[in-house]
Amino acid sequence: MHFLRGVSFSTLALAVNTLGAQQTPASPRENLIVSTAWLAQHLRDPDLVLLHVGDKNEYAAKHIPGARFIGFDDISVSDHSGAGLHLEMPPTDVLREHLQALGISDRSRIVVYYGNDWVSPTTRVVFTLDYAGLGARTSVLDGGMSAWVRDGNAVTDVVPPLRPGSLQPLHTRPIVVDAAYVRAHVGKAGTSIVDGRSASFYDGVQTGGGMDKPQRTGHIAGARSIPFTEIHDDKLMLKSPTELAAIFARAGVQPADTVIGYCHIGQQTTVMLFAARSLGHPVLLYDGSFEDWSRHGDYPVENPAAQKKP
């Protein structure tokens, strides 16, 4: 073995080890989820902000120690008049105020978890935090409250004292798109438009929407289908990378595709987009989703159920 003149073996070994570490960065999945063991170890970290997503009465009865309750009013705006849309991103300054009220600061390490089976509201919260520029410091507790309890960890009914955070003005990320953007990217190479609703809505067997504003039947023409219910196992743990990659491949999503997700109003599809992020896909949310698309009578919709009728 030949050694570089003036360089000790230990120095060279350290350089090689450092180079090796740089060549094997953490996968996107490793940054997106944390285990119950990790959370138990870091529960008292001063910069940790733990957010509980679920029913407010459920939170009052029991939650992970130190967790703060987060509701939809904290991260979205909805028009209930029938004229507007539901679950849209709030103005940036309003979102910043609400996040600060939850105790989030520029240095916060944020972990979000679901009580019971509130998976899609949780991933909607996580997507919103990513939109707000906080995605690199935000993770989901894999398995949520059920996994925490199943693994023998303590719960409490004590609500932590309110300690507002301090955030610099938000630099939102351009990961929310509108109907015109989606229409322009239908069938475009390198992009997959993916419907995250249950298959019965995609197939036209069911029609979504309220009594006053029914949506159109079927799906955006050219969209692929990955129901949000396929992403987790029966214990609400995120499926393995191999399983998720197979689901996306079966739907026709290519490994390097940008995934544009939509559903009824922009919630369920965030589960699918979360899985896509874990596989390394760039992701975009059509926030208006099929509620908005249905209001464009000239925008193309495919209805497989109608095509099967004689």
> pTM for the complete prediction?
0.89
pLDDT tens, position by position, 233-276:
999 999 999 999 999 999 999 999 999 999 999 999 999 999 99
Strand runs labelled E in 126-268: 138-141, 176-177, 191-195, 219-220, 224-225, 258-262
Range of weakest confidence among 79-83, 176-180, 268-272, 276-280: 79-83
Res. 77: pLDDT tops 90: no
Q: Count how many residues are written for the chain.
A: 310
Cα separations in angstroms, 120 against 209, 268, 269, 278:
18, 5, 8, 16
Please give the pLDDT value at position 14.
40
Range of weakest confidence among 4-8, 28-32, 194-198, 224-228: 4-8
Pairwise CA distance, residues 120 & 234, whole Å: 15
Task: Kindly report the average pLDDT of the chain as a whole number.
Answer: 90
- Rg of the Cα trace of the chain? 22
Q: Which amino acid is at 157?
A: D
First vs last Cα of the chain: how many Å apart? 78
Instruction: Please name the residues in contact with 50: beta carbons below 8 A apart, sequence gap of 6 or more.
Output: 39, 43, 64, 66, 67, 68, 110, 111, 113
